[in-house]
Structure 1
């Protein structure tokens, strides 16, 4: 096993550990350790809500989830010799749930969860159709996930970190805050909000304290969106064997990681759409000096996904176009087209006995594939969602005999404000 640089005790909260991570982006968050190019090391990761979500049949914890506390990130890790303009190479050697534990109160101890977030507390990709909070608990057996809340399916998880990235420079951070505040100002009372401004409450900033903590907390960016540094990109294929190239904006790069998922569908469409869990990663790091200029990389990461994905051979797919539910034509709106594709899949699965909420949770958690299939044929974009047929206990293909019916069981817990 590589050197274990960031250990977490499952019995203690994120802020009461041997080393303190962080939940905001800022160049002044102190590194927890320094590694050399060519080093391999192990990192423990807390699930993104630090144990606030429970293995039960209520969605109250999703409804009341403390969004100002996320994400619980491990790091930053300084890389010796890294300078602005370099590319940081990160290899995922291994990733998995909390090791050597198969049951317990924390997601990752034999189980994980998917949540549809309520409109008043984060929302989701289909928030107008699903304004309340819902939850599904998934049990792990090796690489397989099943759920008492979404019965009749089982699938192989593509375990991956939802969030990895380098620290922003002070200039880049200022640009983030300015552009996101300008967006918020266009509709400051919108639910869900258009963006999340800096929030000092619940800010965790490593070992910073006193006036320094308060100043940085007032400036630091929330970790919810993906940005130029990588961040919360939620790319399900970044699993074992993946290599990522991150732009470096500060001395040491200050790399952080977290938000582990046992599985996820493309888009993480329920917002808490992957199967959230705590666990571990084994990482290897290296540098390409001056790589940002050499390869024309200034505001994005480059990925070489791993080749350990489950091999599904047959799919059933659904398309959507950029026309609203009210029949309004939109011009090449691929986001809307993907929403419509997801809604068509939900409507279809409902014919087999699933509730719409169960179908929605399934699309967020199972390794479905989302694609922008046409983006040039005015006025309609076409997006598609592909669902592997092998994950179902029944045959979900259309046939002359009509849809078979599953037993929906206890259903997905619901909680409303």
Structure 2
């Protein structure tokens, strides 16, 4: 018979409550800084769990109004669990992190995707759409997600951490701040901003530290918005359970932090709040490769993707080139971002023909497991990028015409993303 002998549960090194604001909890921080001490310490080879609040720190609710998206306080994001020190890790080493499992809290089986305001967060099409707040709530049933705000779709999630990385050294932090503040100075009046400078407002470290240290972290701490040399907010959807990550170590213990968990995401995370954002639990194991930075020429992390992916073999693929065909027709030279945007706009236009609103299409491409690939960046002047939508996520045939197959949109009272009272459709 089964016994408890030799049956030891994996420990949880950071515990949080997804319904309590992040800045009222321990073991959470929202800035990168080498002076943030480890909240917990683990041994190489040890399996451990980390609980995470959603990236906004419980600012978003499960409702049919997007005022919370419209008014989100971006000085308080992203909220990361940790740091977690790994015994024996030293600067110059490689920290190997195995992602063993990722999933939502049992008591919070839902997530959200949002379109941010042009003046507060933006997104890939913030300027083109003059974007206003909008959100879709997604309900989780096992591996599947559905939304009352985007009817006709159901898909399996590829759950993953949007943000994971090691702590920077003081020298690396200074490099980040110098180059990003320089970029801001070059584009001082950009809306949305091109980068986010250190900002004491909203800074939070869920540990009892000396006031001078907290002040220094607030004044110098790097915002967690972008990915950088240490990993960070890279939003790589295939880093789901079974993935292995190789991170450069810059400080003693490596000081690993994680957050911004996603139930699902499309390549590109179009709308900035562009995955199915969730709170949840992630399970890790770590090891150390001594001198790994030199051995692997590790200027940025290296990843082995998960062996587990939803099986969607049939896809409808949209091409984009580096010409603004949806705007003023301007020719760009080998700009893959322009090409990606054109592919996405082509897909949005197609989905609108199926009966979805532009907001629904925008949110869907952000949340569903769409795939994007660079076709070519060698044929001047046009880079070519593709965006592929799995046809199997729809409960109707999206290549079937005429459009009367889409009876699911006949009821105007359902199936629209929630919008803030101060917002409007574009």
Q: Which residue of 1 aligns with 2:211?
A: 210
Q: Aligned partners of 2:242 and 2:405: how far apart in 1?
A: 39
Q: Secondary structure at the match of 2:95?
A: strand
Q: Which residue of 2 aligns with 1:179?
A: 179
Which 5+ residue runs of structure 1 have no aligned equivalent? 102-108
**Conserved? CA contact 1:352–1:406, under 8 Å:** no
Q: Aligned partners of 1:225 and 1:88: how far apart in 2?
A: 20
1:36 Cα deviation from its structure 2 partner: 1.3
Is structure 2 residue 61 aligned with structure 1 residue 60? no
- Residues 318 and 227 of structure 1, relative CA distance in 2, 3 Å threshold: same
Q: Which residue of 2 aligns with 1:15?
A: 23
1:210 Cα deviation from its structure 2 partner: 1.1
Q: Secondary structure at the match of 1:343?
A: helix
Deviation string 1:369-414 (CA, Å, 9 cap, x unpaired) is 0111111110001111000000011111155x45732434341123
1:30 Cα deviation from its structure 2 partner: 1.1
**Conserved? CA contact 1:354–1:406, under 8 Å:** no
Q: Which residue of 1 aligns with 2:133?
A: 133
1:319 Cα deviation from its structure 2 partner: 0.6
Deviation string 1:160-181 (CA, Å, 9 cap, x unpaired) is 1100000000000000000001
- Residues 292 and 275 of structure 1, relative CA distance in 2, 3 Å threshold: same
**Runs of 4 or more above 4 Å deviation:** none
Tell me the C-alpha RMSD between the 2 structures: 1.3
Q: Which residue of 2 aligns with 1:151?
A: 151
Q: Aligned partners of 2:192 and 2:20: how far apart in 1?
A: 32
What pairs up with 1:2-401 in 2 under 5 angstroms? 2-17=10-25, 19-99=26-106, 101=107, 109-130=108-129, 131-207=131-207, 208-297=209-298, 299-324=299-324, 325-397=327-399, 399=401, 401=402
1:209 Cα deviation from its structure 2 partner: 3.7
Aligned length in residues:
406
Q: Aligned partners of 1:370 and 1:143: how far apart in 2?
A: 22
1:2 Cα deviation from its structure 2 partner: 1.2
Superposition TM-score, scaled by structure 2 size: 0.93
Q: Secondary structure at the match of 1:136?
A: strand
**Conserved? CA contact 1:322–1:330, under 8 Å:** yes
1:11 Cα deviation from its structure 2 partner: 4.6
- Residues 122 and 406 of structure 1, relative CA distance in 2, 3 Å threshold: farther
Q: Aligned partners of 1:118 and 1:21: how far apart in 2?
A: 26
Q: Aligned partners of 1:53 and 1:27: how far apart in 2?
A: 30
Q: Secondary structure at the match of 2:405?
A: coil
Superposition TM-score, scaled by structure 1 size: 0.95
1:254 Cα deviation from its structure 2 partner: 0.5
